[in-house]
Amino acid sequence: MISGKIMKQIISKIAKTTIPSEINQKSKKEIADKVYKLVENEIQKYSEVVELEFGGSYAKDTWLSKNADIDIFIKFKKNISEEKLENISKKIGFESLKKYSPYVRYSQHPYVEAKIKDTKINIVPCYDVKIGEWKSAADRSPFHTKFMKKSLTLKMRNEVRILKTFLKSNKIYGAEIAKQGFSGYISEVLILEFGSFENLIKSMTKIKEKQIIGKTSKSFDTAIVVIDPIDSNRNLAAAISNENIGKFILSCRALKNKPSLKFFKNQKSKISKKFWNNLLIVRFEFKTRSPDIIWGQIKRATSTLSTQLELEGFTVLRSKSYTDQQKEAYLTFFLESTVISEIYQKRGPEFFRNDSSHSFISKNLKEGELVWIGNNTKINSLEKRKHVSAEKFMNEFLKKNLKVGIPKGLQSDFKRGFKVVIGNKTLSKSIKEEVSEVISVDGTLLHFN
């Protein structure tokens, strides 16, 4: 009971800090209204556009004072082509935001972004469709906005802000591919489902694997399932990494057991410096592209190269990708050992299997070092490895097998050059900080001390 009382006091303290001040609200509204007018003037030139509307946390009044984006959705007639939708929306975005150095970002469709003071403005295209008749991923957004404006009470909106602060402090907030965390919309869905932040925390401490939050007749294969209230066939949790789902559940348990304000402040990880020499790092430079695209490519490359290291006999304990989004990328592998034994045991077929055991024996008598019958009823052989050094293997692999290990979009970047290193000797301070994450105890787990 005492911890329940402390929890209520903490939530009430945090609530006071998360609601934007009147000055903040006024300045955000001025920016939003100014941009809306600029875009509104621009859409008059195009008969393909049906209407404009605000979206995201600003429209739903669930934004956090420090960094709320303003999303404006341009709704297009549903019969126009994707190409036309993209071209016209880019023209509208660039023309209306020309004073603010606009640039293109990518989701399913490109959209235009700019910054006014410290507020990001997103001009996003979507089709004007009926519910359920989606033509693009962004088509649901206006329905999300309408649904949440109608469903969330004023108290719930503030509870969403508390949840977002909690997620940010534990570094699991943000739907972008770099983060694969909890989106603003999932935060709203969770508060709507559980009624309050406190109820959500209590429920998450008891959550079961594959538990479904919401209503659906479809089955999904993710650690937990969060159904989109306006589309029962859509699992919002599919975009969240298992690591981040784990961090969320463990943070909720720790907060319930030992309520404290520290859960709403950034948690620092604890680095185990003795493992620096277990790190294999691949560094390369790339031609500038959208952050979403480069992050997707380096994550795929890291995953494929992890598999190649494992196939070669190295044990990959953890891996991570990082990019500065300008020109540099780092693929990091935390290995059990960067140098392995020259020999390994290859398990063959059982001796009961006539043909396969015969061919295994004759092949390995010619090529293997040793062949023997094991107590496990299998015939085994001793093989010699081609590579014992992870650094040499990776260098050779990337020179000779680029097409196997690297996504097509990165191959030309790798052809221009890459560097494979062990440890942290050549890394700058900021990169060291990013890379050290794979040899750190996560800040979330430190809550359990």
| Domain ranges (residues) in the chain | 21-148, 152-264, 271-339+388-448, 343-384
pLDDT at 288: 87
Which residue matches tokens 């993710």? 222
User: How many whole angstroms separate alpha carbon 107 and alpha carbon 293?
Assistant: 9
**Residue 368 reports pLDDT greater than 80:** no
The band of 1, judged by pLDDT with boundaries at 50, 70 and 90, is: low
Angle between helices 197-204 and 184-194 (to 10 degrees): 90
pLDDT at 3: 66
pLDDT at 2: 60
Structure-token pair, residue 292: 């979403």
Fold of 271-339+388-448: Alpha-Beta Plaits (3.30.70)
Q: Which residues have C-beta within 8 Å of that of residue 222, sequence separation ≥ 6?
A: 210, 235, 237, 238, 240
User: How many whole angstroms separate alpha carbon 315 and alpha carbon 353?
Assistant: 31
| CA 412 from centre of chain | 25
pLDDT, mean of residues 100-123: 90
| Its pTM surpasses 0.85 | yes
pLDDT at 5: 87
Give pLDDT tens digits for 376-388: 899 999 999 999 9
**Residue 339 reports pLDDT greater than 70:** yes
pLDDT at 444: 85
Give pLDDT tens digits for 279-310: 999 999 999 888 888 999 999 999 999 999 99
The band of 267, judged by pLDDT with boundaries at 50, 70 and 90, is: confident
34-38, 132-136, 365-369: the lowest-pLDDT one: 365-369
**Residue 143 reports pLDDT greater than 80:** yes
pLDDT, mean of residues 260-271: 89
152-264 homologous superfamily: CCA tRNA nucleotidyltransferase, domain 2 (1.10.1410.30)
**Residue 253 reports pLDDT greater than 80:** yes
**Residue 448 reports pLDDT greater than 90:** no
pLDDT at 113: 95
| CA nearest neighbour of 55 among 78, 73, 37 | 73
**Residue 395 reports pLDDT greater than 80:** yes
pLDDT at 289: 85
What is the phi/psi pair of residue 123, to 5°? -105, 110
Greatest mean pLDDT among 114-118, 162-166, 267-271 lies in: 162-166
pLDDT, mean of residues 147-165: 97
184-188, 234-238, 369-373: the lowest-pLDDT one: 369-373
pLDDT, mean of residues 112-138: 94
Structure-token pair, residue 188: 């709203």
| Residue 198 one-letter amino acid | E
Structure-token pair, residue 127: 């089709």
State in Å, rounded, how far the first CA of the chain is from the last one. 21
Contact 397, 250 (CB under 8 A): no
Q: How do strand 212-213 and strand 225-228 relate by DSSP bridges? A: parallel
The band of 137, judged by pLDDT with boundaries at 50, 70 and 90, is: confident
pLDDT, mean of residues 14-30: 92
CA distances (Å), origin 360, targets 147, 181, 303, 331, 437: 64, 48, 32, 38, 44
Considering only residues 272 and 405, tell me which one the structure prediction assigns the higher pLDDT. 272
Of the CA atoms within 13 Å of residue 418, those in its CB half-sphere come to 24
| CA nearest neighbour of 122 among 230, 27, 46, 32 | 32
Pick the CATH number of 21-148 from 2.40.10.340, 3.40.50.720, 3.30.460.10, 3.40.50.1380: 3.30.460.10
Contact 126, 138 (CB under 8 A): yes
